[in-house]
Structure 1
Amino acid sequence: MKNVSRLFFSLLTLSMLLTACSNAKSHITVAAPDTPDSTDYSFKMGVNLNEQVDVADMQDIQDSKTKWVRCFVEVIDLYKSGTLNTDAKIAAFNSLKSKGYKTALSLKFNFLKNGFPAVNSADWNGYLSFINTLLAKVMPYTDVLIVGNEPFIESAPSTWDEPLNSFYKLACDQVHTYFEQNNINKPIFLGAFDNMYQSSLQTNAGYLKLLAFAKTTSYLSGIDLHIHHTTAAEMTNALSFAKSKIREDQKMLVTEFSLMKYWRSYNNTAIAPAFIAAANASSTDDIDPPPADVTKNYQYIDYALKNPRPAQEWYAFWENSPYLQAKSSYLCDAYHAFKAAGNVFLSFYALRQSYPVGQDFTVNTAPWVLNALFLNRSVRQVNGRNQKSYSFLDQFQKIASNENPCE
């Protein structure tokens, strides 16, 4: 009887183990990816469109010679509107792959506008669950995914530690789980961490906590940075600090960078006499002096936005304004900084000028319009085509073609 009992219990135990294994397998939808990441992590520079992909000029993108395009999507807006399947920006972004481009997409959660919902509330869980719905729509057309756009700028400082950290950690986990379940093997980055050259942010608990999460999370390929700065030292400081906070095997993206803060510091400076002299000396209508009441740099920019100038006049403004001419090799300088950092994978620079028609450009306006590769607002088109920037497009095209832009 003892042998029969032992046999019975052995069979019962085996049956329970088989049942447990069967139940466990029923919860697995698709096996995790077992192929290595095939991404080419050599440095490249692409164009940044932000949320403007549906209005961007595709010929301008082609003329830039890059193969990389970066956009962001407003996740909460899409969640609330229920228009994911009809959204023009999503459709335009998804069309980029068919045109031969590689794509990077940032998931933007604007909690400054919407406020953080209570943890585990319907909206909190709804935002996180909606990530799966959104990824199903865009991932076939996305090469690199960034969880976040500017988490700290897009939320109140009082939330930077919590609940910001908890939300973005869960958002990253949501993306990772979706990738595993659907056998997607593409890089996931976290960010963007903005203004990382500022000492107050380098010691901020919320920033450091999220950076520590990125470093210790094995499935994250690295972090994203936004570097809008005044000095070259600020650029290198941000890159150096960020690099010190991640693993050696991780990479950095710079999905936005510019000299916007430098340009803004000269908004209220008088227009350079050399520009006025060049305009007065011109024997053609291509370079005209501004109206008598336009005496400051910001006033000339406002004038050009409301009365697009001939390209030669805009170029003369740059060539004869010392603050602009001094930075005419900016993309060359940025290229050296990114290459010297050693682990920058992708960087993205502004393709176009985005500024509302008829809106005043004031002394306090952030002069993003000075960054662009193409002058679709401040300069007249020629034969229906946007004209190129004073010097930046030439440098960008060399970078996109794997050439040294400084030669």
Structure 2
Amino acid sequence: MKFFYTHCLLWLLLAGIYLGCSGEKSHVTVAKPSTPDSIDYSFKMGVNLNEQVDVADMQDIADSKTKWVRCFIEVIDLYKAGTINTDAKIAAYNSLKSKGYKTVLSLKFNFLKNGFPAKDGQDWNNYLSFISTLLAKVMPYTDVLIVGNEPFIEAAPATWNEPLNSFYKEATDKVHTYFEQNNIEKPIFLGAFDNMYQTTQQTNAGYLNLLAFAKATSYLAGIDLHIHHNSEAEMTSALNFAASKIRADQKMLVTEFSLMKYWRSYNDSAIAPAFIKAAEASASDSIELPPSSVTKNYQYIDYALKNPRPAQEWYAFWANSPYLAAKSSYLCTAYQSFLATGNVYLSFYALRQSYPDNTDFTVSTDPWVLNGLFLNRSVQQVNGRNQKSYSFLDQFQKIAENENPCQ
């Protein structure tokens, strides 16, 4: 009889289902994510480096005052190169922990570039198997892991439901299995889900099926979002829609967000007369008139990228361009949106300007360079240091120190 009761209790613990020993079934309980109860899920904001950790200025990161850094790794490229033990980006990423930072890593699978292999074929299985090799290299230095970077942007639309869903489900299971086998208790997220304010995404079978998988998978701590948008309403819509698709005990990350699409809508607008007037009135050479051929916003940005400007001139361009000045409190606005949602755990904002040398910035170029906290491309250094953004860094530093950036 003692054996019978002991066996019954063991079965109950393994199944997670309450049963009477008579064999009658009561209710089913959903297991919580396999993360320690000690994790502090209060909202925090960090810096996003994407794949640029090996070229980022460590002093800029320190000056941001955050303790959180997010990066991604190009998994397929790394697998094909066979350089996991010598890769400069992995080495730089792994060094962040020794510098005192908390780290978030996204596993990027660029199927738009590489194409999806045959499901369950050799390449398919090799990509999935490589995940364990990669995790062995980075998990000692990682606090939060995200399966995916931008799955739907990094795959052709015809693949969004299948094989995309099957691959990311298997990849997520591979990560979870590795964590269990190695006694790792760290949060696993899935994503990032992009453009979630758009009806086309909110009704797409591929998106909805992957969101449903995230909600139904007990070990997932939540989902990741990328929100590059035009308006505050789009930010709110994306957050609210995503929140409606996860469990009450799950969280959301926003590892990328910006007003890039808003900035882009003004690329072709004329440079504001107020900026020209400010340059004409300048008593020094700190604010110079742009060349006469530079008459549009995108042309001035191109001019600055090719001929870095004094910080005072760049600030004058922002202060006197109504479309830029109107959004000078953007990080305050975003901060309020994230807090209002109630379940955003971490958000990440661009640290630096990433733009290739000797490349034209055209009317159709996405103006990511207007986002950065530090101006390493469009503005001249002072005493060997990158200069801060017009207003965003000041707000960011307050958020990083748990202060209200809106005051």
**TM-score, normalised relative to structure 1:** 0.91
**Unaligned ranges ≥5, structure 2:** 1-32
CA deviation string 1:254-278 (max 9, x = no partner): 0000000000000000000000000
Q: Check whether the contact 2:70–2:348 (CA below 8 A) recurs between aligned residues.
A: yes
1:107 partnered with 2:107: yes
In structure 2, the residue corresponding to 1:52 is in which secondary structure? coil
Describe the shift of the 1:132–1:295 C-alpha distance in structure 2 as closer, same or farther (beyond 3 A).
same
In structure 1, the residue corresponding to 2:104 is in which secondary structure? strand
How is 1:312-391 mapped onto 2 (pairs within 5 angstroms)?
Answer: 312-391=312-391
How is 1:205-354 mapped onto 2 (pairs within 5 angstroms)?
Answer: 205-354=205-354
In structure 2, the partner of 1:52 is 52
**Unaligned ranges ≥5, structure 1:** 1-32
Q: Check whether the contact 2:36–2:186 (CA below 8 A) recurs between aligned residues.
A: no
**Alpha-carbon offset, residue 34 of structure 1:** 8.4
Q: Check whether the contact 2:253–2:347 (CA below 8 A) recurs between aligned residues.
A: yes
In structure 2, the partner of 1:158 is 158
Counterpart AA for 2:288? D
In structure 2, the residue corresponding to 1:84 is in which secondary structure? coil
Equivalents in 1 of 2:34, 2:69: separation in Å? 28
**Alpha-carbon offset, residue 207 of structure 1:** 0.2
Counterpart AA for 2:279? A
**Alpha-carbon offset, residue 217 of structure 1:** 0.1
**Alpha-carbon offset, residue 390 of structure 1:** 0.1
In structure 2, the partner of 1:198 is 198
In structure 2, the partner of 1:98 is 98
Equivalents in 2 of 1:34, 1:347: separation in Å? 22
In structure 1, the partner of 2:84 is 84
In structure 2, the residue corresponding to 1:237 is in which secondary structure? helix
Counterpart AA for 2:394? D
Describe the shift of the 1:273–1:128 C-alpha distance in structure 2 as closer, same or farther (beyond 3 A).
same
In structure 2, the residue corresponding to 1:165 is in which secondary structure? helix
**Alpha-carbon offset, residue 358 of structure 1:** 1.2
In structure 1, the residue corresponding to 2:85 is in which secondary structure? helix
Equivalents in 1 of 2:240, 2:49: separation in Å? 26
In structure 2, the partner of 1:42 is 42
CA deviation string 1:188-214 (max 9, x = no partner): 000000000001110000000000000
CA deviation string 1:295-316 (max 9, x = no partner): 0000000000000000000000
Describe the shift of the 1:398–1:34 C-alpha distance in structure 2 as closer, same or farther (beyond 3 A).
closer
**Alpha-carbon offset, residue 36 of structure 1:** 3.1
In structure 1, the partner of 2:134 is 134
Describe the shift of the 1:76–1:37 C-alpha distance in structure 2 as closer, same or farther (beyond 3 A).
farther
Equivalents in 1 of 2:64, 2:87: separation in Å? 26
How is 1:390-405 mapped onto 2 (pairs within 5 angstroms)?
Answer: 390-405=390-405
Equivalents in 2 of 1:257, 1:102: separation in Å? 19
Equivalents in 1 of 2:339, 2:70: separation in Å? 20
1:119 partnered with 2:137: no
Counterpart AA for 1:182? N
| Paired-residue identity, % | 83
In structure 2, the residue corresponding to 1:85 is in which secondary structure? coil
Aligned length: 375
CA deviation string 1:41-60 (max 9, x = no partner): 00000000000000000000
In structure 2, the residue corresponding to 1:293 is in which secondary structure? coil
Counterpart AA for 1:38? S
Equivalents in 1 of 2:398, 2:35: separation in Å? 34
Counterpart AA for 1:120? D
**Alpha-carbon offset, residue 39 of structure 1:** 1.5
In structure 2, the residue corresponding to 1:315 is in which secondary structure? helix
How is 1:179-190 mapped onto 2 (pairs within 5 angstroms)?
Answer: 179-190=179-190
Q: Check whether the contact 2:227–2:257 (CA below 8 A) recurs between aligned residues.
A: yes
CA deviation string 1:336-395 (max 9, x = no partner): 000000000000000000000110000000000000000000000000000000000000
Q: Check whether the contact 1:260–1:366 (CA below 8 A) recurs between aligned residues.
A: yes
Equivalents in 1 of 2:132, 2:45: separation in Å? 29
The ranges of structure 1 where at least 4 consecutive aligned residues each deviate by more than 6 angstroms after the TM superposition are none
Q: Check whether the contact 1:228–1:259 (CA below 8 A) recurs between aligned residues.
A: yes
Equivalents in 2 of 1:119, 1:268: separation in Å? 45
CA deviation string 1:117-152 (max 9, x = no partner): 001111000000000000000000000000000000
**Alpha-carbon offset, residue 35 of structure 1:** 7.7
Counterpart AA for 1:298? Y
Give the greater-gyration-radius structure (CA).
Answer: 1
Equivalents in 1 of 2:234, 2:317: separation in Å? 26
Q: Check whether the contact 1:37–1:185 (CA below 8 A) recurs between aligned residues.
A: no
**Alpha-carbon offset, residue 38 of structure 1:** 2.4
- Aligned-pair Cα RMSD in Å: 0.9
Describe the shift of the 1:43–1:243 C-alpha distance in structure 2 as closer, same or farther (beyond 3 A).
same
**Alpha-carbon offset, residue 37 of structure 1:** 3.8
Q: Check whether the contact 1:37–1:186 (CA below 8 A) recurs between aligned residues.
A: no
